[in-house]
């Protein structure tokens, strides 16, 4: 084969020079496994990038996309539509937490977040409450990389080169509390009171009637698998209700079964006003994101605009793309037919045992888990934060296992079709990698 030229492609969120000096190249995928360019089988411990819910190369999804591209490759989404968009919205809403009965399609998780923030501000405005413009996010939140998302997100590193933020944004403290909750299984016992900070902040630093929305990931995924303390989300909901503030759950990772329930909203019994989702919506096959929202929000826009007016001046060229809609319909059908969310719930106790068996291995300072996700937090190398996580990631890759790492935290989040022997292999490989880093 001709030598691959690697100069032109500037890779996202990647140490480009390190990568290009020793590339990790995936060339095909099936079920739980990738194949790399050396012909090695790689066990997918991260569901691609948290998105390949039903495993790779699933026939019903592949065929649906093939049929769609040969039938209707593209349709403009503004003032025009195609039937699959309505079908996909119907299916998604049928699977949504009860009470969220409208769907708005976008192209990614980042677009879903920025759309939700705009929709929240505009919602108050169309109801005559134009003073509500402030947005509240949380430290260690990740809401994608667009300007809205990095503004409400709480990752300083993602903002450091972009010192321009939405005005009128504040952040709650992260609920991560290693001192009280290390090695928790499932929801940590301590920390519901972190939610009370919302009330304290809006009363002392803001006028509550200026707050449009609060956005949180029910479980913060990308910043290290931070499971919400028992009762925390319910308290956030109560405070938002008390002050007329919209609550947005960013379920880009937690949607579609990751926590052993269809949605985090259902897992924790807390209904937000808007959910953002993406990733598993199409099993990662075609880029797509969506908002699920209460009908009151939709109806307020309808009531405020004349019948021939555009009610919400927002959308993308690729909103409700026909290929994405076909992939979403087939994916949601597959999840239901194979009862994958129930499967994740059924495997979660085994997964938890295997994750926590890493306690006592070198550098392990915390393990946390819920459903089919686990975070393993490691002691940092002195003066080199993040390097230990990278080392373990590379050692696992050498042994044919793909994981995610964020700083010195490993994230394990396999496709929901994983078998027990593959769960064993994931955690055994991590143990070997940790010992090899000693």
CA 184/CA 178 separation, integer angstroms: 9
3-state secondary structure (DSSP) of residue 172: strand
Tell which positions 114-173 bind ligand PLP, by CB under 6 A: 142-144
Interaction of residue 109 with ligand PLP, rule CB under 6 A: yes
DSSP 305-368: S-TTS-SS----TTTT-HHHHHHHHHHHHHHHHTTHHHHHHHHHHHHHHHHHTTTTSTTEEEEE
Interaction of residue 318 with ligand PLP, rule CB under 6 A: no
Q: How far is the CB of 431 from ligand PLP (least distance, A)?
A: 27
Residue of 54, 88, 275, 278 interacting with ligand PLP (CB under 6 A): 278
Interaction of residue 85 with ligand PLP, rule CB under 6 A: no
Q: How far is the CB of 249 from ligand PLP (least distance, A)?
A: 9
CA 324/CA 103 separation, integer angstroms: 14
Interaction of residue 429 with ligand PLP, rule CB under 6 A: no
Q: Which is nearer to ligand PLP, 222 or 361 (CB)?
A: 222
Q: How many residues at the interface with ligand PLP, by CB under 6 A?
A: 14
Asked if residue 118 lies in contact with residue 201, where contact means CB atoms within 8 angstroms, the answer is: no
Best CA proximity match to 186, nearest among 142, 222, 229: 229
Q: Which is nearer to ligand PLP, 208 or 221 (CB)?
A: 221
Sign of CA dihedral 143, 332, 316, 86: negative
From the list 109-117, 178-186, 191-199, 201-209, the region that binds ligand PLP by CB under 6 A is: 109-117
CA 276/CA 153 separation, integer angstroms: 14
Q: How far is the CB of 142 from ligand PLP (least distance, A)?
A: 5
Q: How far is the CB of 176 from ligand PLP (least distance, A)?
A: 15
Q: Which is nearer to ligand PLP, 109 or 229 (CB)?
A: 109
Interaction of residue 408 with ligand PLP, rule CB under 6 A: no
Q: Could you give the strand order of the β-sheet that contains 41-44, starting from the edge strand earlier in sequence?
A: 26-30, 33-36, 41-44, 401-402
From the list 107-115, 186-194, 317-325, 363-371, the region that binds ligand PLP by CB under 6 A is: 107-115
**Which residue sits closest to ligand PLP, CB atoms considered?**
109
Q: How far is the CB of 27 from ligand PLP (least distance, A)?
A: 23
Q: How far is the CB of 146 from ligand PLP (least distance, A)?
A: 8
Q: Which is nearer to ligand PLP, 49 or 302 (CB)?
A: 49
Instruction: Enter the tokens of residue 17.
Output: 């020079």
Interaction of residue 221 with ligand PLP, rule CB under 6 A: yes
What is the rounded (10 degree) CA torsion for 271, 272, 274, 276?
A: -90
Residue of 222, 223, 331, 361 interacting with ligand PLP (CB under 6 A): 222
Q: How far is the CB of 173 from ligand PLP (least distance, A)?
A: 18
DSSP 386-428: THHHHHHHHHHHHTTEE-EEETTEEEE---TT--HHHHHHHHH
Q: How far is the CB of 110 from ligand PLP (least distance, A)?
A: 3
Asked if residue 424 lies in contact with residue 32, where contact means CB atoms within 8 angstroms, the answer is: no
Contact residues for ligand PLP (CB under 6 A)?
108-110, 113, 142-144, 217, 221-222, 250, 252-253, 278
């Amino acid at each position: 084969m001709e030598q691959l030229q690697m100069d032109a492609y500037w890779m996202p969120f990647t140490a480009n020079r390190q990568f290009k000096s020793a590339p990790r190249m995936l060339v095909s995928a099936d079920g739980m496994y990738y194949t790399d360019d050396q012909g090695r089988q790689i066990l997918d411990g991260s569901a691609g990038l948290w998105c390949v819910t039903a495993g790779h190369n699933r026939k019903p999804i592949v065929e649906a996309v093939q049929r769609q591209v040969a039938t209707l490759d593209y349709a403009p989404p503004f003032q025009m539509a195609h039937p699959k968009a309505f079908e996909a919205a119907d299916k998604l809403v049928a699977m949504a937490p009860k009470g969220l009965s409208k769907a708005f399609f976008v192209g990614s998780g980042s677009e879903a977040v920025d759309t939700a923030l705009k929709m929240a501000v505009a919602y108050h405005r169309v109801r005559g409450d134009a003073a509500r413009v402030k947005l509240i996010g949380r430290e260690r939140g990740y809401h994608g990389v667009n300007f809205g998302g990095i503004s409400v997100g709480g990752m300083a590193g993602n903002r450091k080169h972009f010192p321009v933020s939405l005005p009128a944004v504040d952040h709650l403290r992260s609920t991560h509390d290693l001192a009280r909750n290390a090695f928790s299984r499932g929801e940590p016992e301590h920390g519901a009171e972190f939610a009370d900070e919302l009330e304290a902040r809006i009363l002392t630093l803001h006028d509550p009637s200026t707050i449009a929305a609060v956005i949180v990931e029910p479980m913060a995924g990308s910043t290290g698998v931070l499971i919400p303390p028992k009762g925390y989300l319910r308290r956030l909901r109560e405070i938002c209700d008390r002050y007329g503030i919209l609550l947005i759950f960013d379920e880009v990772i937690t949607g579609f079964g990751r926590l052993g329930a269809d949605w985090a909203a259902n897992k924790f019994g807390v209904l937000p006003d808007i959910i953002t989702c993406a990733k598993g919506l199409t099993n990662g096959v075609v880029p797509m994101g969506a908002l699920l929202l209460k009908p009151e929000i939709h109806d307020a826009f309808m009531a405020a605009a004349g019948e021939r007016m555009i009610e919400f001046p927002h959308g993308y060229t690729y909103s409700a793309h026909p290929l994405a809609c076909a992939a979403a319909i087939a994916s949601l059908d597959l999840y239901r037919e194979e009862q994958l969310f129930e499967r994740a719930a059924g495997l979660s106790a085994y997964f938890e045992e295997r994750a926590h068996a890493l306690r006592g291995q070198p550098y392990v300072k915390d393990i946390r888990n819920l459903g089919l996700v686990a975070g393993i937090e490691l002691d940092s190398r002195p003066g080199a934060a993040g390097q230990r996580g990278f080392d373990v990631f590379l050692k696992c890759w050498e042994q044919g296992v793909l994981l995610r790492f964020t700083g010195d935290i490993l994230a394990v989040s396999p496709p929901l079709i994983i078998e027990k022997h593959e769960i064993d292999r994931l955690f055994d490989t991590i143990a070997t990698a940790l010992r090899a880093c000693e």
